[in-house]
Amino acid sequence: MAINRTAFTKASPAGRVIGGLAAWLISGIHPVLGAQPMGCLIEPQQVAEVGAPAIGIIEAVLVDRGDRVVKGQVIARLRSDVERAAVAVAHSRAQAEADELAARTSLDFARQKLERAQNLQARKFISQQAVDQARTEVELAEQKSRQASEQKYTTRQELGLTQAQLAQRVIRSPFDGIVAERYLSVGERVEEKPLFRVARINPLKVQVVVPAAFYGKIKSGTTASVQPQLPDAVATSARVTLVDKLIDGPSNTFRVQLELPNPDFALPAGLRCKTDFGLELPVVASRQVTTTSSAPIRPALLRPDPNLPASQPRVAAAPKRSY
């Protein structure tokens, strides 16, 4: 039957409350035209705590906080007197060729001696024992020549080892970026604590927390407009690189990561921003409720129930009344 909503809500405060709840329950969802930007945070693409692979004393610091660095650039050195001396010794041994040349000369002489002994033995001038002795001398000379070659190879490997140990006394930047922090100074001892914090800010990384209603609508590789919250900053196009496969239950959101080009380092990391994916946000819109009856709704009355035992409360709801 039809109910007059206007008369019903004017009848009592309870009627107005129930009417409002009914309007909310039967309300619909309608999309609103126009994209809604979402809050985001601009972060460095990569941050590294740069330390030394070896324990030592800082001999030189070549960069400071805020300096731009490139990959492989030397940013600090540790004292390396012992390592440099070891490299010099190993280099001298690796360059020495006297033992190898002597072994080759001995081998050549032994081969010539064997050849002469074989000729003399063919003419019956010497015995077979002399030939066997010359052949043995050739074999010994070959072993010494091989030993000299192996020793040469070993000294070269030792040179590489000492050079690697010396390289551990030099600290280099792991990638292009800026020095975000310098922790130690010249003369301090380096053990486990890092010397620098280096941040890569080209490209930048944009973190966006997106409502779960948009899950599946944002794909990797798509572009979005990022507006940094910085005076005179213009909106820049960024590319989606990561969409989380998990939704956070308490907040009903998921995380999206974008890559923002920053070739001239114009934008600093740590800025807040607004990201526009060009999507429409769903909102709740009320619908009209039409009722015609003016009779108020009264709460149900309670009366004793004669069918219940005496040990239980003999109360029952009154029959519903029709209006």
Per domain, the residue ranges of the chain are 5-45+199-285, 80-168
Per-residue pLDDT tens for 120-144?
Answer: 888 888 888 888 998 999 999 999 9
The CA-CA-CA angle for residues 186, 189, 195, to 5°, reads 65
| Assigned CATH for 5-45+199-285 | 2.40.30.170
The answer, yes or no, to whether residue 119 has pLDDT greater than 60, is yes
The CA-CA-CA angle for residues 23, 27, 29, to 5°, reads 165
Phi/psi of residue 88, nearest 5 degrees: -65, -40
Considering only residues 178 and 308, tell me which one the structure prediction assigns the higher pLDDT: 178
pTM: predicted TM-score of the whole model, two decimal places: 0.62
The answer, yes or no, to whether residue 95 has pLDDT greater than 90, is no
Per-residue pLDDT tens for 45-59?
Answer: 999 999 999 999 999
Q: How far apart are CA 21 and CA 4, in angstroms?
A: 16
The answer, yes or no, to whether residue 258 has pLDDT greater than 50, is yes
Per-residue pLDDT tens for 270-286?
Answer: 999 999 998 765 554 44
* Contact by Cβ (8 Å): 273, 248: no
β-pairing, 272-276 with 253-260?
unpaired
Q: How far apart are CA 116 and CA 134, in angstroms?
A: 9
Per-residue pLDDT tens for 167-177?
Answer: 999 999 999 99
